[in-house]
């Protein structure tokens, strides 16, 4: 497709379960970002990939959160042992620019996670 | 943490009126961007202004940047009901993690027909 694709769009899980959220960026985009957005707030940075390399994971809340982009394209954000406070919209974005300068980000529709 | 702060948090106007939203930030930046988010949807890039620019236009949008005050404004002229959305400013720090955009909390704009 032409845009950033995220799946699943909605995920409801029970506390303690693991979840994996997938992001398929725009073809050819070098940079990939994961953000988390709470209701009524702006997106908060989680992690950044330049090609397959995870350049910055400073925004990941704790070690239950991890992300990978093994072939420099599709990325997976994994949350282990989910807690209710993990409930949020998780947004993926991609950009054709490398780390030299930040350009326009193209966002996906997001994955809404609800932890019961 | 969120660097930008939009003001006001919410704005309600009539169709045809102009809407002005402000953004303040804390650190030196390379550029500042504005994004729009329709309810429940993804964010869409509107306009980018570089730190050495003071004003930029795109259609009905006008953005100003005052680096001495660390602030920016977004003006939407002749608003339409379809402009109803949340608007976010986003900045990237100069000299630091310049690949990372930091977003504000947003202004919710409602344009009444």
Band (pLDDT 50/70/90 cuts) for residue B22 is: very high
Is B20 touching A (CB cutoff 8 A)? no
CB atoms A42 and B106 under 8 Å: yes
* Chain B: closest CA distance from residue A99 (Å): 5
HSE value, Cβ hemisphere, 13 Å, CA-based, for B108: 7
Positions of chain A with pLDDT lower than 70, given as ranges: 1, 98-102
pLDDT for res B93: 76
On chain A, the residues whose CB falls within 8 A of the CB of B104 are: 42
> Would you say A6 and A92 are in contact if contact means Cβ atoms under 8 Å apart?
yes
On chain B, the residues whose CB falls within 8 A of the CB of A100 are: 98
pLDDT surpasses 60 at B31: yes
Nearest CB among B41, B42, B99 relative to A102 is that of B99
On chain A, the residues whose CB falls within 8 A of the CB of B33 are: 104-105
pLDDT surpasses 70 at B2: no
Residues B48-98: pLDDT tens digits? 999 999 999 999 999 999 999 999 999 999 999 999 999 999 998 776 666
CB atoms A43 and B88 under 8 Å: yes
CB atoms B43 and A41 under 8 Å: no
CA A95 to chain CA centroid, nearest Å = 13
Dihedral sign (CA A66, B95, B53, B106)? positive
CB atoms B45 and A106 under 8 Å: yes
d(CA B67, CA A67): 35
**Residue ranges with strand state E in A16-96:** 19-24, 31-37, 44-50, 53-56, 65-68, 75-79, 88-95
* Chain A: closest CA distance from residue B42 (Å): 4
pLDDT for res A22: 98
Give me the mean pLDDT over the B94-113 stretch.
85
pLDDT for res A96: 83
pLDDT for res A59: 94
In DSSP terms, which residues pair with A54 in a beta bridge?
A: A49
* Chain A: closest CA distance from residue B99 (Å): 5
Q: What is the mean pLDDT of chain B?
A: 91
| Cα-only R_g, chain B | 13
CB atoms B2 and A44 under 8 Å: yes
pLDDT for res B23: 94
pLDDT for res A99: 53
pLDDT for res A20: 98
d(CA A85, CA B60): 40
pLDDT for res B97: 60
């Amino acid at each position: 497709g032409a845009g950033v694709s995220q799946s699943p769009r909605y995920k409801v899980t029970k506390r303690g379960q693991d979840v994996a959220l997938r992001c398929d960026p725009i073809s050819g985009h070098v940079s990939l970002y994961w953000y988390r957005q709470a209701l009524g707030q702006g997106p908060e940075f989680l992690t950044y990939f330049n090609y397959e390399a995870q350049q910055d994971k400073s925004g990941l809340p704790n070690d239950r959160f991890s992300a990978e982009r093994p072939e420099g394209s599709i990325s997976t954000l994994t949350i282990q042992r989910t807690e209710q406070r993990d409930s949020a919209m998780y947004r993926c974005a991609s950009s054709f620019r490398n780390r030299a300068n930040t350009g326009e980000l193209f966002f996906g529709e997001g994955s809404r996670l609800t932890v019961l | 943490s969120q660097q930008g702060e939009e003001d006001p948090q919410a704005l309600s106007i009539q169709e045809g009126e102009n809407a002005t939203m402000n953004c303040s930030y804390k650190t030196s930046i390379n550029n500042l961007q504005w994004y729009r988010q329709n309810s429940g949807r993804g964010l869409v890039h509107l306009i980018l202004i570089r730190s050495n620019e003071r004003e930029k236009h795109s259609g009905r949008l006008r953005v100003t940047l005052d680096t001495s005050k660390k602030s920016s404004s977004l003006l939407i002229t002749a608003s339409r009901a379809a402009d109803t959305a949340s608007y976010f400013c986003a900045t990237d720090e100069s000299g630091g993690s310049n690949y990372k955009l930091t977003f504000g909390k947003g202004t919710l704009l409602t344009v009444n027909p």
